[in-house]
Chain A
Amino acid sequence: MLAFIARRLLLSIPTLFGVLVVVFLLLYVAPGDPVQEMVGERADPETIARLRKELRLDEPMLSQFTHYAGGVLRGDLGNSYITQRPIIRDIRERFPKTLLLAGSAMLLASILGITLGVLSARSPGGWFDRLGLGVAYLGISFPVYWVGLILILVFAVMLKWLPPSGYGGIKFLILPAFALGSRSIAFLARVTRSAMLDVLGGDFVRTARAKGLRERVVVVKHALRNALIPIITVLGLDFGYYLTGSILTETIFSWPGIGRYVVNAITRRDLPAIQGSVLFLSVVFVLVNLLTDLAYAKADPRVAYH
């Protein structure tokens, strides 16, 4: 197992280098100019030329790249062109907030989604199953900004139970976590239902029932455990996406996370901030995928890694 983890981590290095190169090239060829964003609406050519030189933007592409990659190898993501603050500090400040939001959304989604899925699978075609199907379709179809605004309208403006937006204690977390997780709840419910239906028809379930186990034990311990693989796949994928910036949710709820940071960096052509955060988020994605793979083995001992 340890050898597997080590190999996976080693293999991710070329991937990350590829990310570094691709992001650099994309930004190099993309239109827009960081210096013009720095100087604002009214500027003069001398200042622009001077800043370009200071930021090494007048150098050939290869020299710019080796300079940047050299910094990354030394663990230095550089300073933002715009704010002059170290990128690594900006990420350290914002990523935990995104992690909190994504984690809460996933927690909510797993609890509600899996429960709904299991209950639906218990009596396929029953009223609960059909209701669950309807709710799931709605959850998948409604875009997150719409869900977010409706949540704000109902729970913050009309009922005044929760604050409309902002970052703070748990009451600030509930609405955005729900908005972000709504799609996963629906999706997980459907995936769990079909996986459970497959498993519930299996011989070992019949055996379990035949030896007189209580239905709850049959469903949760025997059936659900065997249905976990597709559920973990969905959880892993969604979690990866949420961590890399749930931009719309963060925007609607004024949540100070990494997604808004990346978007602001792109808008202002803040090259080191874009490169640094994309690289960091790629590492996160690699790690989440690795954890998902490890979770497969935990869920199903027949899955072994060599």
Chain B
Amino acid sequence: MLTAKRIDTFNIKSIYASLSLPEVSKLIIVNSHNDVLVYHKNQDIFKHLQTYPNLIKHLHTDESRIYDLKYSHSISTIFAQCDKTIILLNSSNLSQYDYIFEKRGIEQTWVFNIRHTHTTDDYKTILLYSTKTKPTLRALIWEGTTYKKMIDVPLFHKSEKALSALAIQEGILISTKHGIYLWKHDVDKLIKIDKITKRTAPDDMMVALNNFKNICEKESQGNNPRDIVSNKSISSKASEYTFNKSRPSSQTFRKVSGYFWQQQKFRHDHSNDNIRYIFKPSEKENPIIFDFISRNILELHTGDDNQHFLVFSDCNCFNSLNEDYFSVKHIDLNVVLLYNEHSVKFIEYEQGFPFLNMTVDDEIKDILLLEGPYFVMITKSDDVHLYHYQVDDSFEQHILVKEFDFNTNKDKELNQLWRNVLFYKYFLSSTYSLDICVSSDPEHSLDLCAMKLRDLTVVLCLRVFERYQYYLKSIEYNEDVIEKSYNIQRIIVENIFKLFITYWAPPHLVLLKTLPNVILAYVMDHLKHYDDDIDAEYYSLPDAYTNMVLPKLILHCYVPYLIEIRRHIKNIKISKFEGNVTWKIFGRKINQTIDFFLVDDDEDTSIVDLLTLLDTSLFEIYFNYNKALIGPFLRVENYAKENVVISQLKKNNMFQELIDCYFQSGKHKEALNFLKTLYLSLSSTDEQEIKDGILLLIIGYLRNVPNDFIELIFDYTKWVLDIYHDKESVIILVFMQDTLVSKGRDYQKVYNFIKSFDAELAVSYLEFTISSFQLTNATLQSILIKAYIANLSDAHIRKKFNSLLKSSMIYEPKFVLKILDDSIREGQNMDIDNLNYLQFLKIYPLYKLREDNLSVSIVYNKLHNYAEASKYCLRIYREDMERGQSVILYFLQQILKLPASDINENEDVLYFLKEFGSKLNTKTILKLMPPNTNIKIICDYLLNTIETTSLKVGDSNLERSLLQLELINTTNTLNVIFSENYLIKETDICSVCDKKFPLSSNDSVSLVNIYGKSKIVHTTCAKVIETHNSKSKVNIPKLITVGDYKDGQN
């Protein structure tokens, strides 16, 4: 725990007021002579800097004494509080720059520095004081360093006094003996916060455990609360009442709470009636009211309707505070400082656990907090002591045993753990962690503390869980009670497992201690049974073990823990992390290995062993409580003990999940064999539906088995084909699916396999694979084309063959051409029609090879098919005009190759000229035409050409006219632009001085009116004219500039 060491002491006679300035490490003290002494904390001692003798005498005030000092860093001001005046002193030299006179007298002052936003350094400073003669509060507000305004608000009751105040986002929160008020910014009245409520359920594990304990004790002792407390000490009675407060029934609660309240009042015979301290721990969203008057801890909340209310917390803090205290000061996080005449305490404010406890011989007058782990104690004998507090482990046991009166040893152990956990959390998260750590290597020591906190937290959680189970057992697992107290149980278990997740609790320990026996027995038994390297001890069940947890909680709490821990362990397994993972806790980053997840006696356990334990437990939890997740779990990488999983799934007829498991582990033969055996075991016709279902499972499985197991796939597909009537469907479902698995198959093997059953279907398979997977495999294409050629008489096959060669982009044209040529050569006995069709098909690979002339030659010369040749030429022409014109020209040459006598009877020439005449140059066509060509033949063509040419000429003329018009318009625009400017030539001379105009751009010219004419002159000359005209009263208009001239033109 913490110990405070006195590191400096000095004495000042008759201390009246004191002030700590943590921001500048200064201490200011005022003595009875009104001398102001300034000290600076240098390392571990105070150094006297300066004394301002009888300061008040030198100030502009009639006051005779300074009662208190306050400091605002943002306006560098020290406020000296006197009887009726607050004097504003410059903090650097204590010179007065202003004062505030309050005729009602000043009771107490507070100063708040509020930063506007986190991103700027703009501060708002509020000086708040209460008055003596009237219950009034006054606030003076500065924005930045500028004073802005003053607001007064009256308190509600006569003689009501403010006890504590805190600036919050909405305004200032003020406590008095009569209640809590909020003074909203810019409003001149206080809002009393009347509404006090409490959480429907505690959010703390320990409080929830106590609540659950009370519920169970009440149940087990016949609903007689008196019996519960009858044999307890006074302090334990109080403790019991505290537990009773949080019973879920609000009606009951009201009564009990009132009684409890009176009990508290009755017990409370101290005089801490002036402490209702408001503070805001940095880790909390809301301010806390530490209320000695009602002996409660309250938290300010804001509802959805923006109404404020106080939330009453279950706490044991005041049970341990049986002394009077002068004052409370917030230190850091959840720790507050309390002091009275002879003792100083640092306590965790919610439970009252002491973190520091010191007594002093002198009577304490005041304690001031400094920056860092230091405080200043001022005694009544006017000694000023500087203390430094640090962590000292050796004090742990002593303080705890002395401070707390526990019901049982178990309570003591639990509370001791709890306190230690809270202390180490404070230690690690404190702003001053490094400063309070006594070590030559504080960083390393803090890492060790984090590990210690982890151990303590895990043990605490396990103890809490043990107690939770104990209470459950005490009510003999009464279902009604369990159901009614579900929420409390949820909080206990949920918090335990949240902590297990945060602290990476060792899985073996957690599972052994918390897993319900229905699951753990199974997991352990099976792991022990099936583990090859048997470690019976590792998998042995703890004695007398009867854990029972509600299923909802197991799913809600255990599963995330198991998932999270397996994630960390898997990360360790991943080679890139090199066996390390970083555990982040309270801002620390500590590298951990697999050892972190092991307990001392299982050092031989490997990563896989741990993963097996985790995943098998996870499987069992899913199996028992959420079967829907078994499928997803088994489909992803997992280490669940295979035999355990298979055995469970088989036993429960979960076939789909079973084959998912087989599939994930690559045991395809086992999966298929299992399904086959299952199928064969069913014989009755009544079970046909089930048998069909199993066949579908087999087919579905075969479809997804990777190609490495192709022979296995064939074996089982063959078996299915033997017993199932719709063979085509089976083959399609197994092999012809557009999936990555199908894409990775050995196509030729599959083709051969299918062909052995159905040749036609085998061709379909090739068609499917080639088109779906865009295959360029020559062998497959060859097989497919040969299959087509073998059935060329079939119109449907012809169509497919044509379509394949015409539209497919993936085949190798030379290869296909060779197949076609070979087929034609070898198929001389083939039907002529088929042979011609094969010839025709050659145009598709030729097209890809850009052998257009050859294509046209085949179609036109060999097959005498003008229409197809024309179609081919047009297709080429549309795609590529130049390439098209070349093949069209070739086409014409082939047409004209006919004997000369036939030219005038050749209709192809007429068709050609009609279709392609406009696509070739007329002169080229005419040159190629034989001399004996009848003019009638080309008459229409020529007329069309003339007409087309005329139209083109007309279009060109029209375009020329339009361009000329555009030129005129553009020229006109240019002239207008020119006319707006006057170009001064080198030869131009000024009309006044007869000198040339300078070409330097720095000189200016002006346009002036001389005798009714506009002339360009030097600007200086223009001024001369102007002066001359004004003297001679000649009415020369104002100096005209080029700009004016332009305006005039416009």
Partners in one complex: no
Q: Which residues of A contact B (CB under 8 A)?
A: none
Q: Which residues of B contact A (CB under 8 A)?
A: none
